Structure 1
Amino acid sequence: MVVSPSIHGHFAQQAVRTPDAIAVSSSEVQLSCRELDERANRLAHRLRELGVRAESPVAVLMERSVDLVVAILAVLKAGGCYLPLHSAYPLQRKQWILEHCAAPVLLADEVMRERGLPEGAEVVIVEGEKGLTGYPAHDPAVETDPAQLAYVIHTSGSTGVPKGVAIAHRDALGLALDSIWADGRHERVLMVAPYAFNVSTYELWVPLLHGGRIVVAPAGDLDVHALRRLIAEERITGIHLTAGLFRVLAEEDPGCLAGVREVLTGGDVIAPAAVQRVLEHNPGLVVRAMYGATEATLFSTDAPMTAPYRAAGPVPVGRPMDNVRLHVLDADLRPVPAGAVGELHIAGRGLARGYFGRPDLTAERFVANPFGEPGERMYRTGDLVRMDQDGLLEYLGRANDQLKVMGFRVEPAEVEAVLAQCPGLAHVAVVARESDSGEKRLVAYYVPESGEIEAGALRAHAMELLPAYMVPTAFVAVPALPLTPNGKLDRRALPEPVTSSTRRAPLTDRQQALCTLFAEVLEVPEIGIDDGFFELGGQSLAAMRLVSRIRSLLKVDLTITQFFDTPTVAGLDGLLSRPEGEQG
């Protein structure tokens, strides 16, 4: 059999080899390889009818589901490239991405349609086989070049708007067919990450192209308890967890990974103590540290760790994967000696074509490779690293202002640009503050033009235009932004955020216990029963930690969704006081 140059071609060949094997499943539905292939073929024919051709960007806005997998595969079969829109993005951000990429078609589901869709594209509702019965089940047989675009994923941009990373079929295939997946550990992969982020490349294509199964987690946010149940019930063998989520599971419930064969983690500094604790509880598990960037097709290096493991020094991010070349360079693009700090540049497999519709940004980050063949490029990661004599890479941090928050890259300039649109604001600076537990939180320091601007108004403005992980957790008014002698922002002179509130003290033992747990997780001296968890700097990972501790201490059945709806002690106390059937 001739090896296909496309992602969907590889899957079609897999469907011929194992037609009856389950390719994708959820709690409600499952599709075999043949059924997935045929359903995606039918939708692909419909997309062709709507004018989708080679590299036509097709927007996808759906909840996590089996239908989502069908939709993404169908876009590729039709010759297009999929343009994932995060369901949690503000509508204005979705609209901007749709217009910037000039997507002619938007694939959505009923839930997203009810919430409101961006305008300007032909909308196709994907709902099982509904609307597809009149289309043929055979492959449209669209010729696909390996250099053709497969997807465009948007990340935070320093110019004030997101930037779309354009990845070709050959690059996604290079990742999905890497030799690290050949041991069969990723037979059943949990699809849990937002599909609009780069981890979806692993969750989708590694299992599908190796005869494995995608197990689709329920839509919405998941807590530690829900992850434990899913991993056990669905017999998950492979999973990716951001470094922050991995740390939360290690602290709260390391045994929840029982039965998993391999856990991938990365996206930020990996806590050595978390690796040790997880491997102590799961001695047969492989924890694989991963490093990469969306611009280099997700993963470029890996470092497997097994028991016995002792936390001694930073966790390395490993050695290059197949056909990846790493260069640690100084500011003049000269190699630094082994053990010295330099900026990492990635060459070889996986480099994106560039940023969709932004040749200026592409030229800035994708530069000529002086160590390769004529015309070869390398990607400037902006990450500071050092490499030892054996080629083992250690991640140290960022060389520029870009931040990592909850595993996502954030350009402070984009957050600042959005906040600057708020009337009455003279200056604003966004910086990251690190808590004692190592979690980064964005803090916005602002200078009003005159009078006062309520922090709540700034927060509301940001939430209308930015994803939740880019909204600062604290807003601090200052008379002026402190500057260094050379005119740059003096971050060390910025004050620590101070929380002020008309605190209402706890009145019952349960309220007192909840206040104590809130304060521990938020790393603050005390809170009142009306203080909002997120207004005090809480984030989704901290919320997972808090829900886990509330469940454990108070022996109650609390979900992360319920907590998001009532993120105060008073609200939770009222919720827990209701009869069980009225708590939904």
Structure 2
Amino acid sequence: MVSTSIQQQFAERVNSTPDAVAISAPVDGTALTYRRLDERANRLAHRLIALGVRPGDPVAVLMERSPDVVTALLAVLKAGGTCLPLHSSQPLARLQHITDRAGAPVLLTDAVMRERGLPRAGAVVEPATDPAVAASPATDPGVASGPDAVACVIHTSGSTGEPKGVEVTHRGVLAFAADSSWGPAHRRILSLAPYAFGVSAYEIWVPLLNGGRIVLAPPGEPDVATVRRLLADEGVTALHVTAGLFRVFAQEAPGIFAPVREVLTGGDVVAPAAVRRVLDACPDTVVRAMYGATELTAFAAHATMTASGPPDGPVPVGRPMDGVGFRLLGPGLAPVPDGEPGELYVTGDRLARGYHRDAALTADRFVTGPDGTRMYRTGDLMRRTADGQLEFAGRLGDQVKIRGHLVEPGEVEHVLGRLDGVADAAVVARDDALGEGKLLVAYVVPGPAGVSLDGLRTAVAALLPDYMVPAAFVELAALPLTPNGKLDRAALPAPARPAPAPAPDDLTPGRQLLCDLFARALGLDAVGPHDSFFELGGESLQAIRLAGRIGAELGVEVSAADILSHPTVAELEALLRETSPAPL
């Protein structure tokens, strides 16, 4: 029997392997079999139905990474609802906007998120402590969903100043999970990404719908030590890391992937030197570059690289996955010749239904071809090579990739323009100091009363996800314009590199070494002991790199979270003196 919904496919896996482990969480020793996960999800699904959730209704999920997250997502589907995953590290104001737009749905949460603060919702349920959940039946509620029903709404950056909700269908997830590339190498998958991102289709549904196991990383940003330990100790066979994180791991610990059969990477341009470095250190591991979008239910194309076949040039986009059609089209949707660039349009069952409550944007991005086929306009320029693979040739419009996330600078501009003291603003992407990716730079024209750039950074951070907060703010008397009155982006000045505070004369060797490690991770000439990692342009990927270097050079274990919560050398040194017996 062909499954028509995610919950039906999962039920078949429960029937075939009820005692196999579905989820393991090494951080606390939790392990759930398929039968146990099914029962927990059934109880919560009955509770949701009792609260009035009906087929198609959105249910928000805001939790730390844990088995409870997977239980909650599955329960929403079993109740016939639509998952509305919320990113636990995003500002409360953004989460409130998303839930308000969804009509104040039921919110599933946990104690950690409740302590941090929750958006207002129609009802709030903490499944781990709700007695009504524990008292509900463990039997399947039997609510059916059709293949074209919306399984989840995942929010990404939008050009209008508001996040856009991508409606991913049951059909799309089922087609994605059934891809032939998910063979034995993908039986035990490490889950690192936030569940509110599109890659959750791979990390959650590929193992669960194929009888495999999810290995959950602990909450927070991954670091070299934690990932190395999980891969070595938990029998992980495959994982996905963003192109930026892959580059950091390739630089700091290229042998980290030796225990796994495949490592997937993508979300941005994959550095060929990083791939070669990993393959040299892990000759038995396959590196697979992935291309896709949330609108395509995660990945739609892949390119496989091995030690015997490493990339000898730019890493290609590759070939389409099962059931995916690619068309390279020019003006008037006319096909372009092989070797010439054209915009990539994608067809197949994986296409999202559209954008939540945005018919105009849906009509703009999901179009009908001359033959009547529904297509998704990616906005990516591609060309077809002589061997039939696609390679990236640029991007149409203003969208940019920041740390693996597709960001509309216009959304950041909208947020800046609404803040007090800002008369005009522009946001552009520039190459970072290390030449390894893009960062956002905000150019601000202050109003008559002036403006504090530090205050703007704080205000933006309260409204947008961390990867959308500009790394630098530049004050200008006026934005430069072209002769026809448009913003002259080429005339915007590069942000000045921050100057470190003078180092004190009594700088100890240990503190000096930490200052040097901070500087190297940030691509700066020097860093003072009281300079803030954030104010110097630091972000999570650089924190992961820095944590790895501190571990390698000082022999102490430090996490990216430690650096983000202790952002100066002096603060981090004090933490290390408390937690490590090794002298600094």
User: C-alpha offsets along residues 426-450 of structure 1, whole Å, 9 cap, x if unaligned?
Assistant: 1111111112332211110111122
* Distance across 1 between alignment mates of 2:223 and 2:174: 32
Is 1:122–2:120 an aligned residue pair?
Answer: no
Are the counterparts in 1 of residues 66 and 216 from structure 2 also a CA contact under 8 Å? yes
Is 1:466–2:467 an aligned residue pair?
Answer: no
1:460-539 paired onto structure 2 within 5 Å: 460-501=458-499, 503-505=501-503, 507-539=507-539
Question: What TM-score comes out, normalization by structure 2 length?
Answer: 0.96
1:381-400 paired onto structure 2 within 5 Å: 381-400=378-397
Report how far residue 332 of structure 1 moved: 2.9
RMSD: 1.7
* Distance across 2 between alignment mates of 1:80 and 1:52: 7
Are the counterparts in 1 of residues 556 and 582 from structure 2 also a CA contact under 8 Å? no
Secondary structure of residue in 2 paired with 1:578: helix
1:135-146 paired onto structure 2 within 5 Å: 135-146=136-147
Q: State the partner residue of 1:86.
A: 87
Aligned residue pairs: how many? 578
Q: State the partner residue of 1:401.
A: 398
Q: State the partner residue of 2:228.
A: 228
User: C-alpha offsets along residues 301-332 of structure 1, whole Å, 9 cap, x if unaligned?
Assistant: 11111112444210011111111111112233
* Distance across 1 between alignment mates of 2:448 and 2:499: 24
Q: State the partner residue of 2:566.
A: 566
Is 1:320–2:341 an aligned residue pair?
Answer: no
Secondary structure of residue in 1 paired with 2:379: strand
User: C-alpha offsets along residues 385-438 of structure 1, whole Å, 9 cap, x if unaligned?
Assistant: 111233201123321101100000111011011111111211111111112332
* Distance across 2 between alignment mates of 1:286 and 1:92: 41
User: C-alpha offsets along residues 117-157 of structure 1, whole Å, 9 cap, x if unaligned?
Assistant: 11132111021785433211111111211111100000001
Mark the runs of 5 or more structure 2 residues left unpaired by the alignment: none
* Distance across 2 between alignment mates of 1:284 and 1:582: 36
Secondary structure of residue in 1 paired with 2:333: coil
Secondary structure of residue in 1 paired with 2:184: coil
User: C-alpha offsets along residues 485-510 of structure 1, whole Å, 9 cap, x if unaligned?
Assistant: 33332222111111445613151222
User: C-alpha offsets along residues 324-346 of structure 1, whole Å, 9 cap, x if unaligned?
Assistant: 11111223321111111121111
Is 1:217–2:214 an aligned residue pair?
Answer: no
Q: State the partner residue of 2:59.
A: 58
Are the counterparts in 1 of residues 64 and 88 from structure 2 also a CA contact under 8 Å? yes
* Distance across 2 between alignment mates of 1:504 and 1:131: 60
User: C-alpha offsets along residues 542-572 of structure 1, whole Å, 9 cap, x if unaligned?
Assistant: 1111111111112222122211111112222
Report how far residue 451 of structure 1 moved: 4.9
Q: State the partner residue of 2:425.
A: 428
* Distance across 2 between alignment mates of 1:64 and 1:200: 12
CA spacing shift, 1:538–1:306, aligned 2, 3 Å: same
1:20-169 paired onto structure 2 within 5 Å: 20-27=19-26, 28=28, 29-127=30-128, 131-169=132-170
Are the counterparts in 1 of residues 238 and 260 from structure 2 also a CA contact under 8 Å? yes
Q: State the partner residue of 1:417.
A: 414
1:215-364 paired onto structure 2 within 5 Å: 215-364=215-364
CA spacing shift, 1:350–1:501, aligned 2, 3 Å: same
* Distance across 1 between alignment mates of 2:13 and 2:369: 36
Are the counterparts in 2 of residues 75 and 81 from structure 1 also a CA contact under 8 Å? yes
Are the counterparts in 2 of residues 86 and 194 from structure 1 also a CA contact under 8 Å? yes
Secondary structure of residue in 1 paired with 2:128: coil
* Distance across 2 between alignment mates of 1:52 and 1:180: 36
Q: State the partner residue of 1:16.
A: 15
Are the counterparts in 2 of residues 347 and 369 from structure 1 also a CA contact under 8 Å? no
User: C-alpha offsets along residues 4-46 of structure 1, whole Å, 9 cap, x if unaligned?
Assistant: 2111110110110001000011123111111111111111111
Mark the runs of 5 or more structure 1 residues left unpaired by the alignment: none
Are the counterparts in 1 of residues 500 and 526 from structure 2 also a CA contact under 8 Å? no
* Distance across 1 between alignment mates of 2:405 and 2:316: 19
Report how far residue 251 of structure 1 moved: 0.7
- Name the aligned partner's letter for residue 110 of structure 1: A
Secondary structure of residue in 1 paired with 2:298: coil
Q: State the partner residue of 2:4.
A: 5
Are the counterparts in 2 of residues 56 and 103 from structure 1 also a CA contact under 8 Å? no
* Distance across 1 between alignment mates of 2:317 and 2:110: 38
* Distance across 2 between alignment mates of 1:130 and 1:222: 34
Is 1:379–2:376 an aligned residue pair?
Answer: yes
Q: 2:452 aligns with which of 443, 451, 454?
A: 454
User: C-alpha offsets along residues 69-92 of structure 1, whole Å, 9 cap, x if unaligned?
Assistant: 110000001000100000111111
Are the counterparts in 1 of residues 367 and 376 from structure 2 also a CA contact under 8 Å? yes
Secondary structure of residue in 2 paired with 1:69: helix
Give the stretch that moved more between structures: 208-217 or 498-507.
498-507
Secondary structure of residue in 2 paired with 1:557: coil
- Name the aligned partner's letter for residue 148 of structure 1: A
- Name the aligned partner's letter for residue 268 of structure 2: D
Are the counterparts in 2 of residues 405 and 440 from structure 1 also a CA contact under 8 Å? yes
Are the counterparts in 1 of residues 290 and 317 from structure 2 also a CA contact under 8 Å? yes
Report how far residue 186 of structure 1 moved: 0.8
The percent of aligned pairs where both chains have the same amino acid is: 56
Question: What TM-score comes out, normalization by structure 1 length?
Answer: 0.96
Are the counterparts in 2 of residues 67 and 128 from structure 1 also a CA contact under 8 Å? no
* Distance across 2 between alignment mates of 1:542 and 1:331: 41
Report how far residue 581 of structure 1 moved: 8.3
* Distance across 2 between alignment mates of 1:463 and 1:237: 36
- Name the aligned partner's letter for residue 16 of structure 2: R
Are the counterparts in 1 of residues 104 and 120 from structure 2 also a CA contact under 8 Å? no
* Distance across 1 between alignment mates of 2:262 and 2:311: 19
- Name the aligned partner's letter for residue 21 of structure 1: A
Are the counterparts in 1 of residues 290 and 302 from structure 2 also a CA contact under 8 Å? yes
Are the counterparts in 2 of residues 416 and 429 from structure 1 also a CA contact under 8 Å? yes
Report how far residue 471 of structure 1 moved: 0.3
* Distance across 2 between alignment mates of 1:443 and 1:284: 41
Secondary structure of residue in 2 paired with 1:70: helix
Report how far residue 511 of structure 1 moved: 2.2
Secondary structure of residue in 1 paired with 2:553: helix
Report how far residue 103 of structure 1 moved: 4.3
Secondary structure of residue in 1 paired with 2:181: helix
Are the counterparts in 1 of residues 323 and 348 from structure 2 also a CA contact under 8 Å? yes
- Name the aligned partner's letter for residue 317 of structure 1: V
CA spacing shift, 1:238–1:573, aligned 2, 3 Å: same
CA spacing shift, 1:579–1:284, aligned 2, 3 Å: closer
CA spacing shift, 1:339–1:185, aligned 2, 3 Å: same
* Distance across 2 between alignment mates of 1:417 and 1:169: 33
Secondary structure of residue in 2 paired with 1:465: coil
* Distance across 2 between alignment mates of 1:133 and 1:447: 56
* Distance across 2 between alignment mates of 1:31 and 1:43: 16
Are the counterparts in 2 of residues 290 and 317 from structure 1 also a CA contact under 8 Å? yes
Q: State the partner residue of 2:366.
A: 366
1:154-193 paired onto structure 2 within 5 Å: 154-181=155-182, 183-193=183-193
Secondary structure of residue in 2 paired with 1:441: strand
